Structure 1
């Protein structure tokens, strides 16, 4: 059986597990008001691909696709198959050793490829093979003339050897004299030039109104994103949501992308900083599933008016972004990552649920989280027999936010901020910060 036949079988198997038949068009995306969101129950949702049989068929089709791509002879057809190959290998955590030689063979030729192909393969190197790829990247680095592939290669070298920072820091201005005008290279240079500055107290950020009268989700995360963080909800009156017993509402949330790349790069981790929240909807991405997501936008992706949730006369600038932050946090570089990510063109970073089997990542420090492409992800429990939703941290978070909002359109904000420390962020840490904020 040839490669195209295997791809067809793979597509059919994927479709067989999907909630739509091949004859059904994808529906228009459903948008929710606050009242509609609050009326939902887990039993309202099912996703056949999360059942045991559905998930098995999906994985078998993906592994068959991987193996078909691996079996291709060297040449243009195999080259064209490589980006999707490594994407599947990373998602399903499958055939990683078998795919390694194809990546290492391709790296020395990347200077002859277009920037998007470079991005895809360098991302695979960073995600799966940093140590093996590093010796091949040093001679390639001067040939990478686009900032995105260059930055991915640099982060991969840094991951393989932290001592590479000095050499990389010297190379950036030599190769890109105008690096300070490029958001990806600006973020890279900040990573290569560690600051001794101590960030302001997090409670000052948690107490900040952003814009009065709007609710906010605060996502507390660890640097590196290898551990689960926690999402909190601050109501429109500025108080953090608690239950009837007075316990602070917290919900586990993963801000790690499969690539592990920084937030200024395609499919990188969720950027640290401020987003606007402009509603809720149902995604068409099968890895997100049917549970409503909260629709967040970065600066630039959103207009200044969408950030203000009102008319805005000013065009985007760093000063406009800073105006949403408390004064003590306006000069803090890490919280500018969202601003740089928006300038770099990142978009569609949502707060959503998950239909990917977390078992693919068993043994990882973020388990039972399941990383995807840079969004904030909450875990969900699906019935293994039927694929019906049993429990959803995502739905609970979205409804807690909706209940804390006085607005039918759910307009508000999202803040992602990192906390030093090891291990998952704990409810006790969150409570101490909220208490110190007087909220």
Structure 2
């Protein structure tokens, strides 16, 4: 199996990108993607890794993208102070974080921008504060205290608060007081509900995982269970439970367990734009190809959050009368022991907060750039669930795909040609990557 070599002088990150529109995340023109295609279960199962190639995964393709992106970063850094440079800052910080390049050179621009954010629109605030959280939390935190009472939108406020917490965990009482004063109706806002839960830190005991692994959700549908560590700084594992309620085993009888990462580059919570994959229940509504060059040509599985999917779409029923989403409807997918466990409501809150397009997919990002990281060989993006793929360094042809293996196992385990089913993302306490032996013990305890 051919591995792509590590390109020099790039640091840890190359081609990091979001599960977001191509125009928002790609610093240079990528190879023209094939027209988007949808796959049914039989078509998905018939695919082979050799069916796919992506020239930008070759050594020459990576180098060309990197050099163009670094030139873009340096051009933005060289702009004179003024409105034009201000307008270039969100893109600049995105590229700096994306390529882990010129971080020191960009720091003064970020720190200079923070005191002026109260007069900027919420989207500009979001972009700059996300950069502060991702790149400079310790330096930014002292500048955020006077800014917090001036922020009028909940999303920038929450990002600023999480940045302060990242720099100083003891700041919770002061942050709670500021939030309650600034947003007296915080309990009506999904992002602030999640933030308040973090500030109050009730440290609720997790219900038995066996209950969740055995939960019917809706009988007769296949389910992907993604077991992840709190903080997401280690590789998790994806398991498949078939429509018959049994977890999928491979040829020799061992449990199918595919390494998968649910970490976003920002490290923000799942209720915020470009944050980690939220904990909870999603619906799966099919498979297709992406236009995002960092996802590449291997078909993704399309998962949707509550609210993003209507109740009928979430439940995979066509004849059910129209209904509104409610916390009670979300709870109906959970076993009784999990219905009162607030951390598992993150997917419900994320949907209420407007998050969407959190896919289950492969990656064209070279994992060699993350050697030495706690989550290696994962390649973080911005909220999706990602399993690794190996691309040939010379030709850019796909050699092996853990994601395709997972998607095909899910397709084979279901009964629906349209690939309808569910995704459950759950955090499993413990150190280091989630191991196959650990997953097997959990499944055995669930009697599945």
Task: Give the alignment's TM-score, normalised by structure 2.
Answer: 0.92
Deviation at 1:12, TM superposition (A): 12
| Shift in Å, 1:198 | 1.2
Aligned partners of 1:290 and 1:220: how far apart in 2? 25
Equivalent runs, 1:40-119 vs 2, <5 Å: 40-119=47-126
Query: What is the match of residue 6 of structure 1?
Result: none
CA distance in 2, matches of 1:211, 1:189: 31
Alignment deviations for residues 248-296 of structure 1 (CA, whole Å, 9 cap, x no partner): 0000000000000000000000000000000000000111110000000
**d(CA) in 2 for partners of 1:376 and 1:206?**
19
Distance 2:307 2:79 in 1: 41
CA contact (8 A) 1:13 1:57 kept: no
2:28 to 11, 14, 22: 14
In the alignment, which of 436, 439, 442 is matched to residue 427 of structure 1?
A: 436
C-alpha contact 2:148 2:178 (8 A) present in aligned 1: no
What is residue 272 of structure 1 aligned with on the other side? 279
Following superposition, the deviation at residue 60 of structure 1 comes to 0.6
> What pairs with 1:395-406 in structure 2 (closer than 5 Å)?
395-406=404-415
Structure 2 CA distance for partners of 1:13 and 1:217, relative to 1, 3 Å: closer
In the alignment, the residues of structure 1 paired with residue 135 and residue 27 of structure 2 have an alpha-carbon distance, to the nearest angstrom, of 26
Could you tell me which residue of structure 2 aligns to residue 140 of structure 1?
A: 147
- Report how far residue 85 of structure 1 moved: 0.9
In the aligned structure 2, how far is the partner of 1:390 from the partner of 1:171?
53
Q: 1:437 and 2:446 equivalent?
A: yes
Match of 2:339 in 1: 330
Partners of 2:159 and 2:204 in 1: how far apart? 26
Residues 1:418 and 1:116: Cα distance change in structure 2 (over 3 Å): same
Q: C-alpha deviations, 1:206-225, integer Å up to 9, x for none?
A: 00010000000000000010
Contact 1:93 1:361 in 2 (8 A): no
Which whole-Å deviations, capped at 9, do the CAs of 1:154-179 have from their partners, x for residues lacking one? 00000000001111112211110100
1:255-404 map, 5 Å: 255-310=262-317, 311-313=319-321, 314-404=323-413
SS across alignment from 2:146? helix
Cα deviation, residue 312, structure 1: 3.3
Q: Which 4+ stretches in 1 moved above 4 angstroms? A: none
Q: Deviations over 1:175-226 (max 9, x none)?
A: 1010000000000000111114312100100000100000000000000101
Secondary structure class of the residue paired with 1:296:
strand
Q: Kindly indicate whether the alpha-carbon contact (under 8 Å) linking 1:35 and 1:408 is maintained by their aligned counterparts in 2.
A: yes
Residue number in structure 1 paired with 2:3: none
Name the residue aligned to 1:223.
230
Alignment of structure 1 residues 150-189 onto 2, 5 Å: 150-189=157-196
* Deviates further, 319-328 or 191-200: 191-200
The 1:13/1:278 distance shift into structure 2, 3 A limit, reads closer
Q: Distance in 2 between matches of 1:86 and 1:429?
A: 39
Q: State the SS of the aligned residue for 2:302.
A: strand
Structure 2 partner of 1:29? 36
2:210 is aligned to 203
Distance 1:288 1:345 in 2: 22
- Residue 406 of structure 1 deviates from its aligned partner by 1.1
Measured in 2, the distance between the counterparts of 1:126 and 1:209 equals 38
More displaced 10-residue stretch of structure 1: 42-51 or 305-314: 305-314
CA distance in 2, matches of 1:213, 1:73: 61
How far apart are the structure 2 equivalents of 1:365 and 1:141?
32
Q: Aligned partners of 1:366, 1:91: CA distance in 2, in Å?
A: 17
Q: Which residue of 1 aligns with 2:250?
A: 243
> What TM-score, normalized by structure 1, do the two folds share?
0.94
Secondary structure at the residue paired with 1:307?
helix
SS at match of 2:287: strand
Offset of residue 13 of structure 1: 9.2
Quick one: which of 174, 197, 200 aligns to 1:193?
200
Could you tell me which runs of 5 or more consecutive residues in structure 2 were left unpaired when the two chains were aligned. Answer: 1-24
Deviation of the 1:14 alpha carbon: 3.4
RMSD, aligned CA:
1.3
| Structure 2 contact 261–386 (Cα < 8 Å) conserved | yes
